[in-house]
Amino acid sequence: MEAASRGAKEAGGRTLAVTARFFRNKTNEWVDEERAMENWEERLFELIRLGDGFVACKGGTGTLVELAVVWEMLNKRIFSDKPFVTLGGFWVPVLDRVREVEMDDDSRWGEARGALVHSVPSVEAAAEFMARALDGVR
């Protein structure tokens, strides 16, 4: 997350780190404000609450949990105005497998009305997608 914080600061932005005391990590030098939560679950839901949109990068189980929770919240219409993209092709096979099940399910939930999570090939494409999706939100 240091690269994201650095990029935001270099572009003139303000940075916020939502951390979990459980991990005992220190914030990086590019962070303006830290919100320390007790555990990873509180951290996850604080990130979701604060986020206007989400970009999932290549990652491990923690990123997988974040992707799944945000996708499920979009799927169940807990919120609908928060755009979500995955960066690069890393998560595409996961998205495809879940969509196979979702599309076969005759449920009112799912992506039958359109993709809830979008995949983009580059950082520039993610920025463009978010700019379009969030135009006029703030």
Say yes or no: 46 and 67 in one domain. no
Q: Which amino acid is located at 38 in the chain?
A: E
Say yes or no: 37 and 93 in one domain. no
Say yes or no: 59 and 46 in one domain. no
Describe the strand order of the beta sheet including 84-87 as a list of residue ranges: 54-56, 84-87, 118-120
How would you write the pLDDT of the chain (138 residues) with one tens digit per residue? 788 899 889 999 999 999 999 888 889 999 999 999 999 999 999 999 999 999 999 999 999 999 999 999 999 999 988 999 999 999 999 999 998 887 776 667 777 778 999 999 999 999 999 999 999 765
Is the pTM higher than 0.85? The answer reads: yes
Number of domains forming the structure of the chain: 2
Say yes or no: 41 and 70 in one domain. no
Identify the domain containing residue 102 by its residue range: 53-138
Which residues, 6 or more positions from 106, have their beta carbon under 8 angstroms from its beta carbon?
none
Quote the pLDDT of residue 137.
67
Say yes or no: 63 and 42 in one domain. no
SS (H, E, C) 11-75: CCCCCEEEEEHHHCCCCCCCCCEEEEECCHHHHHHHHHHHCCCEEECCCCHHHHHHHHHHHHHHH
Say yes or no: 39 and 106 in one domain. no
Say yes or no: 58 and 28 in one domain. no
Say yes or no: 67 and 120 in one domain. yes
* Cα–Cα dist 86/53, whole Å: 11
Tens of pLDDT, residue by residue over 7-40, are: 889 999 999 999 999 888 889 999 999 999 999 9
Quote the pLDDT of residue 28.
92
Quote the pLDDT of residue 70.
97
Quote the pLDDT of residue 138.
57
Give the CATH number of the domain where residue 70 resides: 3.40.50.450
